Amino acid sequence: MVNRPKTFQKRRYQSKIFSYPQFGYAYSYDQPYYFRNLCLTNIAIIGAGLSGLTAAKILNDYANITIFEKSRGVSGRMSTRLSEPYSFDHGAQYFKVRSEEFKEFITPMIFEGIIKPWDARFVEFKNSKITQRQKWAQSEPHYVGVPGMNSIAKELAKDLSVCLNVCVKKIKKKNDRWQLKDDQDKPLGEYDWVISTIPPEQALKVLPESIPFIKKISDFKMKSCFSLMLGFEKILPLEFDAAVVHGEDISWISVDNSKPGRNEKYSLLVHSTNQWSDEHFEDNHEHLIELLRNQTSKVINYDLSIAKHQAIHGWRFANIEKRRGETHYLDINQNIAVCGDWFIQGRVEAAFISGFEMATSLLNLLNLGEKGDK
């Protein structure tokens, strides 16, 4: 991924045709006829998580897209951390598929082996005892990226213009275009449209107060989560690959190397509850590692202090309670849009749906609206 090329080259998808009944028509990625007005539009997308990458994929054939990502890699919370010789999916653990749009979107990556089902031995813990068991191979698919969850984002980012390690701090309107600046006050260019896909708390610090939905964004409050990563020199005698934990300060345990295509080195990934994380987010990380490790040891009845690798990552904006209503905000008058999983729920498919519906709405408006001829 490099800076945006000087000349825009149109990419084509080979066989993907999406139908959007809410707009009364269907379009094919191979047929830019409907959206010829978009070809002159420059769009900046803030954030390279799944919502931003989904929107970019849909818009990329019809506009000049530049994605700005403050981290050193794409994927957002669909992240994978390599700590040789261990590997950890320390954000999203897996995902299911509910909508036909999402199913169609990921199907090519399933065929290519970038996405595979995780046939885990699943259990639920309560009072340090296993209360339920299930084999995911006998239920609906639970998908993961291969060889890591971030493989999905890396695949989506191919052929997109992604600027990494760039933190957008300021957006200002000048001469009917948006000017972007980074945290060093360095100009990042001028754009016809800006799409924010970052968490609401971060968006409030970047977006101008003049946009009509700024107060609505302030109503969203995301919750935090800690990810404890433990690597071992030997295989632990556990009866599960994935576990939901009830009534404790931890909510999830997974044997990360049990996922398809993973490193064989034994690794455990533990998530704290959102409430516990919110209460301890500013605490010393070494202390938090000890607390969560001991809590996990108690739940599974095995001493995890023998772990050779012990690390922790705090997600300040990790999850949000399920919501109903709008999946995105879009203002055709100021040429600005906002999307993200936080509109729906902190789930992988929610991130896709928000980016998907925002991008298709934008295509529709720019084709049919008053501001279509740019």
**Per-residue pLDDT at 362:** 95
Domains of the chain: 21-74+154-220+328-368 (3.50.50.60), 94-148+223-319 (3.90.660.10)
H helices present in the chain, as ranges: 50-59, 100-111, 150-157, 200-206, 214-217, 274-280, 285-300, 348-368
Q: Whose CA is closest to 170, among 143, 144, 196?
A: 196
> Minimal CA–CA distance to 78: which of 54, 95, 97?
95
pTM: 0.87
User: Could you give the angle at the alpha carbon of 296 between the alpha carbons of 291 and 298, nearest 5°?
Assistant: 95
Question: What is the pLDDT at residue 4?
Answer: 31
pLDDT tens for the 374 residues of the chain, in order: 433 333 223 333 332 323 322 222 222 333 333 333 445 689 999 999 999 999 999 999 889 999 999 999 999 999 999 999 999 999 999 999 999 999 999 999 999 999 999 999 999 999 999 999 999 999 999 999 999 999 999 999 999 999 999 999 999 999 899 999 999 999 999 999 999 999 999 999 999 999 999 999 999 999 999 999 999 999 999 999 999 999 999 999 999 999 999 988 999 999 999 999 999 999 999 999 999 999 999 999 999 999 999 999 999 999 998 988 899 999 999 999 999 999 999 999 999 999 999 999 999 988 733 343 33
- Predicted local confidence at residue 40, as pLDDT: 65
Residue 109's pLDDT is 98
Q: 114 near 155, Cβ under 8 Å?
A: yes
Which residue do the tokens 């516990």 mark? Answer: 276
Q: The tokens of 143 are what?
A: 């998908």
Beta bridge partners of 337: 195, 330
CA distance 314 to 361: 34
